[in-house]
Amino acid sequence: MVAASPNPIHNEKIEAIELPVIDLSAERSQVRNLIVKACEDYGFFKVINHGVPQDIVAKLEEQSLSFFAKTMAEKQRAGPAIPLGYGCKTIGFNGDMGEVEYLLFNTNPISVAQRSKTISNEPTKFSSAVSGYIEAMKDLACEILDLIGEGLWVPDTSVFSRLIRDVENDSFFRLNHYPHHLNKDCTSNINSSCSSKVGFGAHNDPQILTLLRSNDVGGLQISPQDGLWVPAPSDPTAFWVNVGDLLQAMTNGRFVSVRHRALNNSSNSKSRMSMAYFATPPLNACINALPEMVTPEKPRLYKPFTWGEYKSTLYSLRLGDTRLNLFRASTSDELAS
């Protein structure tokens, strides 16, 4: 559920900027204000002291690395990813490519358990590790979304998290593996002279919120403005949080859906693995700007749409395209509202 773009262009600028780090154990009013500011300034921040038990992370990492260490023939039994399951290099349905292999899951425990049968020789152990991690991510995402509701001073502070807690939520979970050398059956003609290849190209996440954790190998970058890329240093003990398209729409553009990518540094002898939880509402959930976010000075930017409609748009475009622009409100839409 992310979107890829072509290889990086030569005239882009890489700049080290200190990105927001938020201690979730700090005083609550301070935390919520810092989160709102980070969402406004970058659409991206790191959380520490998040309360996610290390053993939950360790179990999933062990099970995941065991899968990705298998032969290509063994891994392909868990695919193809259409969209769930195992995929390699091909991202989405419209020709997007990357130096990555991955597993994509719906977060429903029954779905995870069923898919684990083609992934692991110990499917119960694997599905338990995945579902345990997903549940921890859901709790953390809801906590952050409630803090956002408080920080925005909206009357219903659970307006965002309620969409994720809904039993019909359409959330997804993705394991991305960026190997030092992809199997010869999983390679294509990407310029081998580049020391850092595009692992997962520039994209905006379409959902509400993403929680991302990786091992101690770097590669993640965000783009706060066109042509500028900022590395996000690896921290296996923390989680990076980024705003998705739906949260940008619900805050009427006050928060920004950050563009980001992952590079696969071929000079690094250790592979990178990331775990991404995409907090997503039910398909029939209506996405609309909160009334408190709309003023005469800041009229409604986007017309109402359902997540199902937005998801259909994702599959009809190149995955790296900017999709929110297709849902811009016209003057007549604003007058009607």
How far apart are alpha carbons 75 and 300 in whole angstroms?
47
Return the residue matching tokens 């359902």: 306
Strands 196-204 and 259-265: antiparallel
Contact 20, 45 (CB under 8 A): yes
Give the number of C-alpha atoms closer than 13 A to the C-alpha of residue 317, restricted to the C-beta side.
Answer: 21
Find the catalytic residue in 272, 300, 318, 323: 272
* Cβ proximity of 262 and 229 under 8 Å: no
Q: Is 145 helix (H, G, I), strand (E, B) or coil?
A: helix
Check if 323 is active-site. Answer: no
Secondary structure (3-state) at 334: helix
* Amino acid type, 297: E
Q: In angstroms, rounded to a whole number, what is the distance separating the alpha carbons of residues 238 and 49?
A: 8
Sequential DSSP letters for 36-75: HHHHHHTSEEEEES----HHHHHHHHHHHHHHHTS-HHHH
User: Which residues participate in catalysis according to the annotation?
Assistant: 272
